[in-house]
Structure 1
Amino acid sequence: MAVFAERRRHRRGNRIAVQSQRLTSNVMSMSVPDPVHCSHVGIKFNADGSARRYPGNTISCHVAHDSRLWQTLRVARDGLARTEGARCLTFLPPGSYHMTVFEGATDHVRVAGLWPSDVPLDAPLERCTKHLEQKLARFDMCCKMPLRMRVADRRDQDRPGVLVLTPFDGEENRKLRALRDRLSGLLMIRAPIHNEYVFHITLAYPVERMAPACHEAFLATQANEFAAVAHAVPVIELGLPSFCTFEDMHSFHAQRDLVSSLVPRAVTPAKGPRA
């Protein structure tokens, strides 16, 4: 029995190592978008677009369901869904819309930089999540709210299904980057693209490669849809981030809201699904 158990652990370790290599490559590609890649197939999604189990944790701001932003994102989603290229994408449920503030850990990616350095690489994800949540319980963001973003320039919207955001101004950029640096030091996670991380809201993932002409037409439509979002919501205001867990890319469950001693009582997090 001990031999069989050891073999199972060895096979699981090999499988995680292969998936970690693929996901590490995906993370690195975040700073250099590949418009037609579908590298999440077999990891986050199946080829038919259905969600695969992909558990982990993250720190994110949910898009409030009663906000103008959420309404315009749904309109943009519907516009993209009517394009020829839509068949190459799997669209996320609007209830999942969020902006990641800081990437946490995922069960499938256990490599230095993407997993807390003070947690063993073979530790159960539940142990890792509990460890991070305990640290965050004592964390003060020490920054003013809300987080103010804007839709990035048209030339930057070159990832199908992804609304790229940028801090509203230099002050917001410094605030967000400093917050990410502090979270990195606290949680002992620092991705290779930590300094170049691109803020975004994902509406859909590619699951099939688009033909060049289809891809070009899709991006043109996407640029127009996202320009409409920018016009409707020139300043995107996001509330306090939450530490969330997830089992797949369709639902994110808030476990704990981060706090800031500089936040007036009237400012509250956007309410997403709670555990």
Structure 2
Amino acid sequence: MASMVPYAFVPQRGYANSPLELEHPAPGLIRKFDTQGRVLTFRGNTVICPLPQNGRFFNELTTISAAATERYGSYFVPTPPSSYHMTICGIMDPVVSEKFSWLSQGRRGLSFDEMEQEIKLLLSRRRFRYPNPIRMTAGLANNTTDYGAIPLFALNGSNAKKLLNFRKDIEKTVRIFSQSINVYRFHITFGYFFRSMPLAAFEDYKRDYALWCSRMNKIGNIATLAPPVFCHFDNMLSYYPITPLKQR
């Protein structure tokens, strides 16, 4: 792994990013930050599309992250702008590694590194269908529970279907159990909450968050993402590209 060039960033599975839920995580879930905002080890791998570090979408996202940090820094850790990305399909992490169907077939003795290499091999053997380029628009703050991320939507129904099928193909390829694919919401994370807020502060934050999402949506921001890549991560602040996903 030492030779890999890291993306600074992760998917938000296994632990809620709601600022009212962080003090009492569900049994068995692993913290990604301690109560002082220090990053903790949270090792895994995922397929992501990095956000290029230029353009209007990137600039607006860094402005939002800076505002959230300035106003709510006692509760909030910003994602490094160099790590901004959209998760296509989370694969391994300390919470959900048991979802692999092939681990129940007499192969539970595999180490993390051995599993990661097998996933790399499975993904690199085939080509996938996905929009080229992958372009997303910012959504509003409707019915979200992830207050550290901007929701993203495909530009049209055809591309939305292609992205959904792409996720399904990845899961089939690496032979993992379904993760409620049909209800997955694409997003770009701009920060994480590491401790709970008083209710009044949370209400203020929700109002700010709704305004940030609305501003991103109204200006017609389009995020043109880099091609999908299978990455390794040791925590929420750094991603290491392993192999690109080839297109059919």
CA contact (8 A) 2:14 2:96 kept: no
Distance 1:57 1:215, change over 3 A: same
Ranked by relative contact order (alpha carbons within 8 Å, sequence separation 6 or more), the top structure is 2
- Asked if 1:202 is matched to 2:189, the reply is yes
Aligned positions of 1:104-143 closer than 5 A: 104-111=91-98, 113=99, 116-119=100-103, 120-143=107-130
- Asked if 1:227 is matched to 2:214, the reply is yes
CA contact (8 A) 1:110 1:121 kept: no
C-alpha deviation, 1:101, in angstroms: 0.2
CA distance in 2, matches of 1:191, 1:208: 30
Aligned position for 2:8? none
CA contact (8 A) 2:50 2:84 kept: yes
Distance 1:191 1:214, change over 3 A: farther
Aligned position for 1:56? 44
Counterpart AA for 1:36:
L
* Residue 180 (structure 1) aligned to one of 156, 164, 167: 167
* Residue 245 (structure 1) aligned to one of 232, 235, 238: 232
* Residue 140 (structure 2) aligned to one of 141, 148, 153: 153
Distance 1:201 1:122, change over 3 A: farther
* Residue 68 (structure 1) aligned to one of 27, 48, 56: 56
Compute the TM-score of the two structures, normalised by the length of structure 2: 0.83
CA distance in 1, matches of 2:15, 2:159: 25
Distance 1:34 1:222, change over 3 A: closer
C-alpha deviation, 1:216, in angstroms: 1.2
Counterpart AA for 1:118:
W
Deviates more, 1:100-109 or 1:173-182: 100-109
Aligned position for 2:21? 37
Deviates more, 1:179-188 or 1:143-152: 143-152
Distance 1:222 1:42, change over 3 A: same
Distance 1:159 1:143, change over 3 A: closer
Deviations 1:199-247 (A, max 9, x none): 1111111111112221111111122223233344532222310000011
Compute the TM-score of the two structures, normalised by the length of structure 1: 0.76
CA contact (8 A) 1:55 1:247 kept: yes
Counterpart AA for 1:78:
A
- Asked if 1:165 is matched to 2:149, the reply is no
Aligned position for 1:87? 74
CA distance in 2, matches of 1:221, 1:167: 24
Between Structure 1 and Structure 2, whose CA radius of gyration is higher? 1
Counterpart AA for 1:99:
M
State the Cα RMSD in Å.
2.4
Aligned position for 2:86? 99
Distance 1:225 1:209, change over 3 A: same
Counterpart AA for 1:46:
D
Aligned position for 1:78? 66
Aligned residues: 230
CA distance in 1, matches of 2:47, 2:38: 24
* Residue 204 (structure 2) aligned to one of 217, 233, 241: 217
CA contact (8 A) 2:32 2:42 kept: yes
Aligned position for 1:267? none
Q: Equivalent pairs: percent with the same residue?
A: 22
Unaligned residue ranges in structure 2 (runs of 5+): 1-11
CA distance in 2, matches of 1:138, 1:42: 32
